[in-house]
Each structure stands twice: as structure tokens, then as C-alpha cells.
Structure 1
């Protein structure tokens, strides 16, 4: 009898093909499309030398990207875009690893497979093989995309490009297998996902500490430090990638060993039995608010801390921009506006992206509740068909506003202490709170998709991904301003100017309201989705 793992691998890849294609395509396009931009951004040796000296003495840049190894465009590409690519690969790894392992146990898929005669260990073995296959595709795709610039960008070579792709793919593999290990410990898929992201945040802090404090060996202990250990285009240390692959294999073996010592659907750490405080809930809106509150609180803390940290590290970039010495990715973000307004606008965009991620996850809960049967319980009380989605939209919009207010208020207190300029506090507050119309627009789109196509939740992420790419990479890639203006981000005006333009914000808010109304109308005219 043939082993079931190959068929299970094909099943996993087919089941998650939409998510895998989107993430892999994003990484390949990000790395391939931005490589040549570094040749044109720093056209002369003097520009490269000045940019390198500034970057090497700027603590904020070192925290964000690491240590810049050389003056060639290839080095600058690995320094900036390499940092983004490895972080995105880590996020992709956490999401994918949990989806292929513990999420399948929680939703009953693995139990169904085991009931059909599949050996108990086979689903985990197949998930590990599928993750390794995805890592290989990411490595080859990113490496080939960068290698296409060989001969057109100084410092880019085929061996270095393939090693860069290997670093990105192996970062995915390490993070994924580490997440699979903690997934055996966590009691639920949600807990596994939270632990995975916590470990990824810890890896970023460890990598930042290694670079700021000049302790290179710490990079070997961080999954996000692999790029610095491999050093593409600057030494090409392939042995570091091989060691990382061996460590990943060890983590895979450890996950299998731990899986044999826990019960199906449970983790090695038992789910805590907490007695929720009694509260009188008099409406469906109150119930939704209670269900969203814990998630909203976690996202508020995370986004507020992240946004304030970026604001606090921005003084060096602002001073470089004032001396007209800021290039590369940050140079395109600050633009030709007042440096303070430009940098705070960039941080505001990052805050908006995080807030939109929270909002979409909250809206998508409506479709998950439908397929899990929880919506039927609510409707059995006499609730109207459209009400659960309407409640979720209202509560998510309010929670997003609170998140942005907290982030903006914290930034307004901290930023003036580290950054000189006019109206810094007011600008910091407005750069966060002014993103609410963009968040509303995405909430409206998410409500429309959930109301009309509950099984196509991936569509809700399309505007967020495209808008993020246009705003963050449009300037670096030379995309026209009119096309960049199609993004939902980047429309918050500078409140320090005499006549700030708020028309785009009003339009975004109107789009959000219209989308939410259409979603509520559509959900009332279709059947309840079922598993």
C-alpha cells in the first residue's frame, strides 16, 4: 500500500493555493521589481558613499534594516528590501504553518482524514513536506527575480541572487517549522498563531540588538538574522544557509516527537479554564462589542507601540531629508514635502495597514461564524438576517477609531521629544487618526465581500495588498502619481498647512459606508453559508 503523504501534500497545496500564491507572488514581485531601482536611485559613487555613511551611523536605520555591508546598489537592496522580504516571509510562515497543522485539527479536517484510514502521524508529516516545498518555491522565485538584474545593477550576480533567495526561503522554513513546534504546545490554533507572531517579534528584537550593539553572533539565534549570516553579494556564505536548513530539519523532528505526546485537538499546555465575569448583555450590538474587545485591545497595544517606536526613531531620517541626503526606500516615502510631515505620513501608513489588518480579521469572523453554525444560534432568537454583519461593522469601525486615537495620542506625546519641527504633536496625532476613513473604506469592502461571497474571504485582502504596494513601493518603482492615488492610503493632508484638503478622506468614508450598506443588503438576500 502506498504512503499517503504525497497525496496529502497535494491536498494541502491545493486547499491553500490561493493564500500561497498571493504570498509567494508578493515576495517575488517585491524582490524582482525593486532591484533595478537602487541603480537609478544612487547613480554615482559619491551618492552611494554618502548614503552608506549616513546609514551606518543612524541607529534608527540599523534597528529597522540591520547593518549596511557595502556601497554597491546590491548591498543597499539586500539591506532595505531584504529586511522587508524576510519579515514578510516570517509572517507568511506563521500564517501558513498554523493553517496547515492546528487549524485543520480545530475545524475537523484532520479528524476526517484520520477517519478515512490515514495514519495519525501522516497529516503532520505532509504539512512539513508541504512547507518545505513552499520554501523551495519562495527561494527559487526570489532568487531568479533578483538574478534577472545581473549586469544591469552593480554588484548583482547569479550566485549572490540565488543565495539571497535561499536566505528568504530558509527564513520562511525556519519560522514555519518553529511555529509548528509551538503549535504542538498551544491549546488552540489561535494560541499557536499568537505564539508564532510573538516569537517572530522576539526574533526582530534579537536581530536589532545584534546590529545596534554590534554583537554579530546574536544573528545566528534569530530567524530574521539569517540574511546577515548568509551575506548575499558580500561574502556569499552558503554554509550559513546549510546550517539553517539543518536546524529547520531538527525543528521538524522535534515537532513530530512532541505531536506523539499530546492528544488530537489539544496542546501540551492545557486550555485554561477561565470563568468569565458575568455581564448583562441587552443587545446583539453589546454581544459583538464584548466578543471584539479582547482582540481590539491586543491590536491597540501592538499597533500603538509599533507606531510610536517608528516615530521615536525618525529624527535621523528627518535630519537626512533636510540635508537632501535621504535616498532609497525612506527617501521615496518622505518625498519632497516637509520632512516631518513626510516621515509622519509614512508611519501613519504603517499604522493604517496594521489597523486594516485588524478590521478585516474582525469582519471575516462573520463568515466563519456562518460556516461554524454560530450564526444559526443567533438567528434562532428572532434576530434579522442582516443584523450580525451590521453589528460587526459598527463595532469594528468604533474599535478601529479607538485604536487610531490611542496610537495618535501616544505619538503626539512622544514624537515632539525626539523630533524638531512645526506642530509635531498635532501632525503626529493627525497622521494616525486621519487614517480612519481609509480603514472605513476597507471595512465597507470587507462587509460587501462577506455579505455577497462568504466563501471568498481572500478577496477582502486584495485592496489592502495593492494599496500597501502602491504607497510603499510606488515611488521606488517609478509608478505615476495618478496610479498611486488609487491606493486607499496616502491621502491624509498635512494639518500644518493653511488649507488642508479633506476631500479624499470624505470620499473614502463614503465608499466605506456604501460598501457596508451593500453588504448588509446582500447578506439579507442569500442563504446562510454552511460548512
Structure 2
């Protein structure tokens, strides 16, 4: 808790206290500082989301260029499983390239935009308090609400910039069915959902004293919103109206172009942000509204060991990713039995599946989808492998390493959790995929086949962790470089066959060397080679960490 003395006037009496408007003093300065800090981070987010959308729109134009091809697409999408993965059935009434974009991509993009907004708000509120920087800044002439207001302003700037980029980019593509008005609505729908989840993060940042906890709770809201939307689009439409993702999808962009659902998002965003400001006045700086639970008088045996402590630190993230990947596997598995009908008239997808191989379309489709599952697990692996950097920067590593704990054991414990946790995530996702796929396709053998197919990507995950450890060990400030591995793996492994990328580009990714089970046969040679590469990278990273000084922000 911090406190400041009231300033004295010339006569020695206390000066008047700050008015309500003074609670936002310094917001503009913090916004400019935040833009300066996040200029690279925000640019990467905006470019990735924009280019991904534009590339998808261009693919729709090529894949469904005739009315007959679009009619076949309607038939493949008009099933409960497909609607749960995409959006409401009304889009199918006029299935132009624009309608496909709104139907198949808007819900998925809403999740990504929500993640971007949540990370912006928690980074500039709760993380600032957790590291002690907020207390230092508030000792100057900065209002009580300035940090939260500046974080929300940064989210508004990012969301509106994304809306503008999407509107201009889609209009410039000059695709039949995508006009300027619809493109603007499509972009603003992204901004509206981003503001909603920014408001949610403003609330969760007041509840817990930890950045990861605040972000985790907000991510759970995003997941719940997506699940409600999926359930409503399949059955009871009222459930979709309980989800802000359902609201933006019911703009029916490029079909009816309804603007009024965006007003619901703006109202919810404003109420959430205001509620976050109210809650912030009911706690101390650095504390959360939820009181910390009393721990045991003495630590358990596990917490006295490096591996047990590392597992405790990673527990919440690991469980969250486990639930998310299991749900992803179940959702993809639910449409496995319909895969042949869904792609039978899409020439480029058929060619991509043919390149993968497999005796059935279901096997080839499962092999393609498994890359997405593996990349999602790789995201966790990078986060876990870079967690030591957060511990080092926050000053929590130095007291531990000042004891008899060696640097190798400390860093090795986090690496072990990253390797073991990533492998466990693959197995969980493969099991959910297998059980759901076996029920959908009526083939019990798919359970073990898909679990094995997921587990085969473990050596590629270990290489991903090795890259992160190598960067942390030698170049700790360049940790963002490790994210190139999962990003490129998705581009080359999932989009590569569809975009007909050359084999040499796909082989640059460690995921490109994994046998594409169950479509292909098992080959142990590349897996052993990947394991050796991972071991070498990790050893080099450990060596670098032993040779350098600790750094703190």
C-alpha cells in the first residue's frame, strides 16, 4: 500500500485534494509511453491479423469462383458440426466470398482480437503493479485511474487500427461480394469485440494480484463466449445472444450488413471499463480484490525442490492449455466423419490432402489438422521455456540462485516442465480428437491412431523449447525470436500444402520433418534426429545461462 502527503500551500495549510477529474491526470503521457513500448508488439499483431484475413479472402475468391462451387460449399457447411465451428446458418442464404469470410472467419478472429486486447490491458495494468513500476509512477503527479485509462486507450487504438486496416485491405482486393460498406462493418466488428474483452480484462485485473491470473480469467471469458456462440448456432439461438461473439456474427456482414449489434458490444465494453475503474478504488496498489489464500505453515516436500516449484508456477497455464487443446481436439474430431463431403469439391484442398497421402480422406484431414494442434501446444512450450526470463526480470530468480541451487538445476526444472507439459498436451489433444473422431467416423481404431499421431510431434516441440532456451541463455532480451518457430510451423505445415509452398520451405520447420500420421507410416529416423537437435540446443542454452550475468528490468 502506498500513500502520499497532501501538498502544502504558501501559508502551510494543506492544499485541496484532487478532484475526480484529477484521477485521470497523466493518462496522455502514459498512452504515449505505452505506444512507444509496444510499437513492435502491436505492429506484429496488426500485420498478422490483417494479412491472415486478406490471404483467406483471396483464397475464397480462388476456391469458390463460380456459383456452383459456392452452392457445394453451402452443402458442406450446413451441418451441426460445421456450424459449431463457423457461425449461424443465415450466412448460407447468400454464400458469396464476403459471406464466407463473415461465416467462417469472424468468430475465430474474434478470439484472436480478444486475446490481443486482453494482453494489452493486463500488460499495462496488472503487470505494472506486479513489477513495482506502477507504485513508482504513482508517486509522481499521476491520477489513480491513469494506468487503467491508458491501457484501455491503447486497446482502443489497436482495435481501431485493425478495423481500418481490414476495411482498406478488403476493399482493395476488389472481390465480388465484398463492398466498402461491408468491409468497414467487418473491420468495426473486430474493433467492437476487442473493446468488449478489453473491458473484461479491466475487471479481471482488479480481482487478482497476478498478471497471469488476470489474463487467465479473461481468457476463460473468451472461451465461454465462444462455447455459448457455438452451442447457440447449433441449437438454441438464445444462447448465441448471451455471447458478444454471437452479437458481432449477427451483424450478418456482407449478407444483411446490420450495424446495430455493434452497439451492444460498445455498451458492454463501456460498462465493463467503468466497473473496472470502480473496483480499482476498492483495493491497494499491487493487491487484488480476491484475498490470497493462506498457505501451509511449511512448504510441501515438492516445493522445496526446483522441479516441484517450477511445476507449481506453470500449473495454471498448463491446465488452461490442456482444457483448450482437449476442446479443440473434440471439435475437430466431431467433423472428421464429414470431412470427405466437406472437401470433395474443393480442388486445392483435395490436392493438399493428396500430397499428405492416406488411404482415406479422414486420415489425410486428420493429419492436416494435427499440425494445428501441435502448433497450439508449441505456443505453450515457448511460454513455459521463457518463463525463467520473467522470473529473472522480476528479481525472483536471484534470491534462489543465491542459495546452493545451481543455475543448471533452476533453469533445467523449467525446461523439464516445458518438455513434459508440451508432450502431455499433445496426448490430451490427441485423445480428445481420437474419441470424438472415432464417434464421428465410426472407427474405433482412430483413438489410438490419433493419439500416436499427436505424440509424434513431441520431438518437434522439444526443438521449439530448445530454441527458446538457447535464446534465453545467450540473448535474454531477444526472447520474442522464439515465437518465430510456432508461427512459421503454422504457415508451412498447415497453409503450405494449400498454398503449394515448395518442400524446402516446409523442411525449414522442425514440424515439417514429423511423419504425418495416420496418413503416412511411422519413421523413427527424423524423430531421433529432432530429439538430438533439441538436446543440443538445450545444452547450449544452459551453457549460455551459466556464463552470463543475471538481468533485471
Specify if TM > 0.5.
Answer: yes
1:263 alignment partner in structure 2: 284
Task: For residue 198 of structure 1, report the CA deviation from its aligned partner.
Answer: 0.8
Q: Distance in 2 between matches of 1:289 and 1:135?
A: 35
Q: Distance in 2 between matches of 1:170 and 1:118?
A: 29
User: Is 1:252 aligned to 2:273, yes or no?
Assistant: yes
Q: Distance in 1 between matches of 2:121 and 2:352?
A: 34
Mean CA deviation greater in 426-435 or 500-509: 500-509
Q: Distance in 2 between matches of 1:356 and 1:350?
A: 10
1:71 to 81, 89, 95: 95
CA contact (8 A) 2:25 2:141 kept: no
User: Is 1:229 aligned to 2:250, yes or no?
Assistant: yes
Mean CA deviation greater in 337-346 or 196-205: 337-346
User: Is 1:457 aligned to 2:487, yes or no?
Assistant: no
Mean CA deviation greater in 449-458 or 375-384: 375-384
CA contact (8 A) 1:175 1:223 kept: no
User: Is 1:45 aligned to 2:67, yes or no?
Assistant: yes
Q: Distance in 2 between matches of 1:259 and 1:295?
A: 25
2:384 alignment partner in structure 1: 362
Q: Distance in 1 between matches of 2:519 and 2:75?
A: 33
Task: For residue 122 of structure 1, report the CA deviation from its aligned partner.
Answer: 1.4
CA contact (8 A) 2:302 2:309 kept: no
Which consecutive residues of structure 1, in runs of 5 or more, have no partner in the other structure?
none
CA contact (8 A) 1:66 1:79 kept: yes
CA contact (8 A) 1:187 1:267 kept: yes
Q: Give matches, 1:496-515, under 5 Å.
A: 499-515=521-537
Task: For residue 470 of structure 1, report the CA deviation from its aligned partner.
Answer: 3.0
1:24 alignment partner in structure 2: 46
Task: For residue 428 of structure 1, report the CA deviation from its aligned partner.
Answer: 0.8
Task: For residue 274 of structure 1, report the CA deviation from its aligned partner.
Answer: 3.5
Q: Give matches, 1:361-510, under 5 Å.
A: 361-420=383-442, 423-495=445-517, 499-510=521-532
Q: What TM-score do you get using the length of structure 2 for normalisation?
A: 0.87
1:85 to 91, 96, 109: 109
Task: For residue 455 of structure 1, report the CA deviation from its aligned partner.
Answer: 2.1
Q: Distance in 2 between matches of 1:5 and 1:283?
A: 44
CA contact (8 A) 2:363 2:519 kept: no
Q: Distance in 1 between matches of 2:274 and 2:243?
A: 19
Question: How has the CA–CA distance of structure 1 residues 412 and 76 changed in structure 2, closer, same or farther, with 3 Å as cutoff?
Answer: closer
The count of residues paired between Structure 1 and Structure 2 equals: 525
1:130 alignment partner in structure 2: 154
User: Is 1:143 aligned to 2:167, yes or no?
Assistant: yes
1:99 to 123, 128, 153: 123
User: Is 1:240 aligned to 2:261, yes or no?
Assistant: yes
CA contact (8 A) 2:353 2:361 kept: no
| 1:238 match: secondary structure | coil
Deviations 1:128-179 (A, max 9, x none): 21211111111111221211112xx220111111111111122111111122
Task: For residue 6 of structure 1, report the CA deviation from its aligned partner.
Answer: 1.2
Deviations 1:485-524 (A, max 9, x none): 4333354425557853444433433332222122112112
Deviations 1:366-416 (A, max 9, x none): 111212222222222233333322232233212322332343345444432
Q: Distance in 2 between matches of 1:92 and 1:332?
A: 31
Question: How has the CA–CA distance of structure 1 residues 431 and 500 changed in structure 2, closer, same or farther, with 3 Å as cutoff?
Answer: closer
Q: Give matches, 1:165-204, under 5 Å.
A: 165-204=187-226
Task: For residue 200 of structure 1, report the CA deviation from its aligned partner.
Answer: 0.4
CA root-mean-square deviation: 2.7
Task: For residue 8 of structure 1, report the CA deviation from its aligned partner.
Answer: 0.8
| 2:292 match: secondary structure | coil
Deviations 1:2-45 (A, max 9, x none): 95211110111222223222211110111122211111111221
1:527 alignment partner in structure 2: 549
Q: Distance in 1 between matches of 2:193 and 2:542?
A: 42
Which consecutive residues of structure 2, in runs of 5 or more, have no partner in the other structure?
1-21
**4+ residue stretches of structure 1 with deviation over 6 A?**
327-331, 333-336
2:361 to 325, 335, 339: 339
Q: What TM-score do you get using the length of structure 1 for normalisation?
A: 0.91
User: Is 1:205 aligned to 2:227, yes or no?
Assistant: yes
Question: How has the CA–CA distance of structure 1 residues 184 and 376 changed in structure 2, closer, same or farther, with 3 Å as cutoff?
Answer: closer
User: Is 1:325 aligned to 2:319, yes or no?
Assistant: no
Deviations 1:426-461 (A, max 9, x none): 321122101101111110011011111212222221
